[in-house]
Amino acid sequence: MDITTRTVGHDVAVVTVAGKLNIVSSASLREVVASAVAAGRLRIVVDLNAVDFIDSSGLGAMISGLKTARNAGGDLKITGAGDQVKLVLQLTNMERVLVSADSVDLAYADA
Amino acid sequence: MPKATEHSLRIETPPGDVNLVHELLAAVWENSPEVPIEERYRFETALIELASNVIKHATSSNGVSCVVRVQSTKGQLVAELRDTADPGDVQLVGRVMPDDLAESGRGIPLSQALVDELEYSQDDGYNLWRITRRFAS
């Protein structure tokens, strides 16, 4: 799995994940989001377009990131969920917790 | 008519690499191209959750060995995980999703939601997990 981060504006971090977000890789996502928030990028977008698999540990990493961002006064949204990711979000009732944006650009367009 | 296939592997923990299970399933799908994509998603997610659970909770002074066996037959996928971890207090009945902001605890209820049957038993000193998914073919 690969994770890259880029900054948009002054406080949005776009975290792009590629590959499988499972027990092997979820710790990296936690660390990347925590580092972004610590550096003042309080609004996080996790781009899942290139994620072909997620499990509950991947969900846990995103919930960890959501809490970290909110505790600092920010937020975390997701975008680009594929069919497997949507299935996992539905069955765990996480669709209403991990808010999905239509695109990276639209995630914080109203802010 | 699709042929029956069986694939297996052994995972040693530590290190315990769940990506080996993804590779095993890639071979299953290659030999069972008739399995619909949503059924692959369901079965793979459920099996990875169980394998991760074994790796995560592997407590034994000598390390843990887990044999994963996957059978694909017409309209049915079955996986068995047989591991040497110390027997856990496994509760399958009445498992529900944890609180919205919990960071763990979803693996077993998610697996149950994904497949038709999830069973756990202890057999001759081994933990035995078995999942079954049936689908129209």
> Would an 8 Å CB–CB cutoff place B31 in contact with chain A?
no
Residue B43 has pLDDT above 70, yes or no: yes
> Would an 8 Å CB–CB cutoff place B99 in contact with chain A?
no
Q: Which CATH class is domain B5-134?
A: alpha beta
Contact criterion met (CB < 8 Å) for A97 and B17: no
Parallel, antiparallel, or unpaired: how do β-strands B117-123 and B126-134 relate? antiparallel
| Mean pLDDT, residues B125-133 | 95
Domains along chain A?
2-80 (3.30.750.24)
Q: pLDDT tens digit string along A59-71?
A: 999 999 999 999 9
Nearest-by-Cβ selection for A55 from B37, B48, B100:
B48
ipTM for the whole predicted complex goes beyond 0.90: yes
Q: Alpha helices of B57-126 — where are they, by DSSP H?
A: 107-114
Amino acid A104: pLDDT: 94
> Would an 8 Å CB–CB cutoff place A39 in contact with chain B?
no
Is the pTM of the predicted complex or chain greater than 0.80? yes
Smallest CA–CA distance from B104 into chain A, residue: A60
Domain boundaries, chain B: 5-134
A17 strand-pairing partners? A3
Q: Rounded CA gap, A9 and A29, in Å?
A: 21
Q: pLDDT tens digit string along B70-117?
A: 999 999 999 999 999 888 777 888 889 999 999 999 999 999 999 999
